[in-house]
Amino acid sequence: MRGPNRHVVLEVASIGVDYHQGGPIWRRKPPFRALDQVSFALHRGEGVGVVGNNGAGKTTLLRVLAGLITPTAGAVRRFTNSITLLALGAGYEGSITARNNVILNGMLLGISRRRMQAKVSEIFEYAGLRDFQGMPIKNYSAGMRSRLAFATAVHVQTDVLLIDEVFAVGDQDFRAKSEETMTEKIGSGQTFVLVSHSVQTVRRLCQRALWFEHGRLVTDGAAEEVVDRYIAQRPA
């Protein structure tokens, strides 16, 4: 768990995120608050799970951490430039080939084109998509995109992995393979934040968990304890 010598890689300070709702200006509804007064710190080498019901703010949180959404209130301090958001379809350009998408994504993370070209075969082999490198990514299924995104992320060194439900898509063999890979990465000190509806996945992979409800952080603590509390409040 967290210790006094752990380096902070992300610090979230009282953030709020409002989404404006549509409609004519004279009948516009007040903004929907997706996150409300959320504060916590992520430490190097830590694996943090995020649990909560649909609409609790989990995906919005990951997008804020990745820098894709600017908070309406509060601040996020990043002490690293190497953060990867792993989500279905995130960062893909539909009209270009899967191979070029992989190379482009790596370059956006600061990896040279030459290094990415050297990794491409290994990435597609891991994803089980060796014969689909030349296919436009828009023709990939959700499962194929998920496998490719995960394979790219784990073969490119990144300080922080933000993972949004990618373990829920794909066949059973690939899910087992991806969890085994994450277990190895955890052993080597990979820092990650995992959003998942599977509390068992959070138990297996995470040391710490955050429980969100209605945009608020309800509990922050040891994964086992937080998951138990979360399960206890759900309807039977």
Q: Is residue 131 part of a domain?
A: yes
Tens-digit pLDDT profile for residues 162-205: 988 766 656 778 888 888 888 888 778 889 999 988 899 899 88
The number of domains in the chain is 1
Structure confidence at residue 1 as a pLDDT band (50, 70, 90): very low
Q: Are 85 and 159 in contact (CB under 8 A)?
A: no
Q: Is residue 140 part of a domain?
A: yes
Q: Are 94 and 30 in contact (CB under 8 A)?
A: no
State the CB neighbour count (10 A cutoff) for residue 84: 24
Domain range holding 137?
A: 92-155
Whether pTM > 0.85 for this model: the answer is no
Q: Is residue 126 part of a domain?
A: yes
Tens-digit pLDDT profile for residues 105-159: 888 777 889 999 999 999 999 999 999 999 999 999 888 888 888 888 888 878 8
Q: In whole angstroms, what is the distance from residue 8 CA to residue 207 CA?
A: 16
